[in-house]
Amino acid sequence: MSDVMMSGEICTRMPPWMPKETLTYLAHTEGGASLRALARDAGVHASTILRQVRAIEARREDVLVDRFLQRLGKRLQPKAESVASVPSSDLPEDLSETQLKQESCRVLGHLRDPSTVLAVVADMEKAVVVRESENGDTVRRTTLDRGLAEAMAFKGWIACDTPGKILKYRITSAGRTALSKFMAQAEMQAMGFHEDQTAFAFDADSDVRHPHRPGRFQSSETPLALLARRRDKDGQRFLAPELVAMGERLHEDFVLTGLSLRQDETWDQFICRVQEDTPDAPQAGRAQERLISALRDLGPGLGDAVLRCCCCLEGLELTEKRMGWSARSGKIVLRIALQRLKRHYAALGEEGALVG
């Protein structure tokens, strides 16, 4: 057999969730295949393969991504030098797609809090998720195998924003989209959908979709995520983490209901229409009750802000235009609405923290 390995041959040695571009990259860098040979194999121009190789090579500046690709490369070495010398538990690529989704969902769920980061130390085989307070204190939320952290970085769900001896990773827009997809899939299965139905309901890694209401979520960052990064003139966060959590809590209930907001539909029109529908699943019914209760408590204006920006992920500028508000006033209205929403959930006690 030729010493040159093509992407098709490498594919048999890799997990099924590995992107095709990565297989092409490994076929070139580890398998020795030329760009032209790979282009002929894929039926594309050589420049396309070159761009793919360069794009992945540039990502190796990230320590976790680089380590992940090193481990994958070991699979292509001769048996005497192969992964047999590496503990199997230390191989992130041995994660099944289901394991990757389940474990990542757990970690990303913590990381959606703007004050929470995933910390990695170069010589440690474990990563830790910690919540950082304003006074500099940290609280450990969970730990995970470094291999899982590497796989998440490779997928683009987390990115390093603080290099150094201790690397700090935060959730990306792609990570938030993946988390929403994983949560919605889990809830749909709990509501009685079969696995093949939930697979049909979602596109690969782009949009999160409902089988009867396509295109409800978009892959761009949410208004909450954008506002969570903003700081005022004193360096304080424009939205406190607990306010972000309130908006995400309302969003989760909206997802469970399977509802959508019609174009130019107002807060009161939405409530009137929804009250006429009876959800088929008990979970959706309870979520709908909580959603309507929260929106009624907020009332028009504040209810419109959270319905559009938190539930439907509509941009602030578009919300301002639809509602006839002055420019840059939307973020103020949204913050007031989230403060009111926090009070609403606090009054519910333990029930306010329930999902489904």
Domain boundaries, the chain: 7-92, 94-171, 221-353
So what's the pLDDT on residue 205?
A: 38
The string of pLDDT tens digits covering residues 81-118 is 444 444 443 445 467 788 888 888 889 988 988 889 99
Least confident range from 127-131, 134-138, 292-296: namely: 134-138
Q: Supply the mean pLDDT for the chain.
A: 77
Give the C-alpha separation, 201 to 210, whole Å. Answer: 5
The more confident residue out of 116 and 216 is 116
Average of per-residue pLDDT across 158-171: 87
- Percent of the chain at pLDDT above 90? 15
Is 353 a residue whose pLDDT tops 60?
no
The string of pLDDT tens digits covering residues 18-45 is 788 888 888 888 878 888 988 888 888 9
So what's the pLDDT on residue 215?
A: 34
Query: Who's near 73: CB < 8 A, 6+ residues apart?
Result: 26, 29, 30
Least confident range from 1-15, 145-159, 232-246, 267-281: namely: 1-15
Is 321 a residue whose pLDDT tops 90?
no
**Topology (CATH) of 7-92:** Chromosomal Replication Initiator Protein Dnaa; Chain: A; (1.10.1750)
Query: Who's near 152: CB < 8 A, 6+ residues apart?
Result: 64, 104, 107, 108, 158, 175
- In 3D space, the residue among 111, 122, 22 whose CA is nearest the CA of residue 67 turns out to be 122
Of the ranges 137-146, 156-165, 310-319, 338-347, which is most confident?
A: 338-347
The string of pLDDT tens digits covering residues 288-308 is 889 999 999 999 899 999 998
Query: Who's near 278: CB < 8 A, 6+ residues apart?
Result: 285
pTM for this one? 0.53
Contact call for residues 205 and 178 (beta carbons, < 8 A): yes
- The DSSP-derived string for 31-81 is T---HHHHHHHHTS-HHHHHHHHHHHHHGGGSHHHHHHHHHHHHTTS-GGG
pLDDT bucket at 260, cuts 50 / 70 / 90: confident
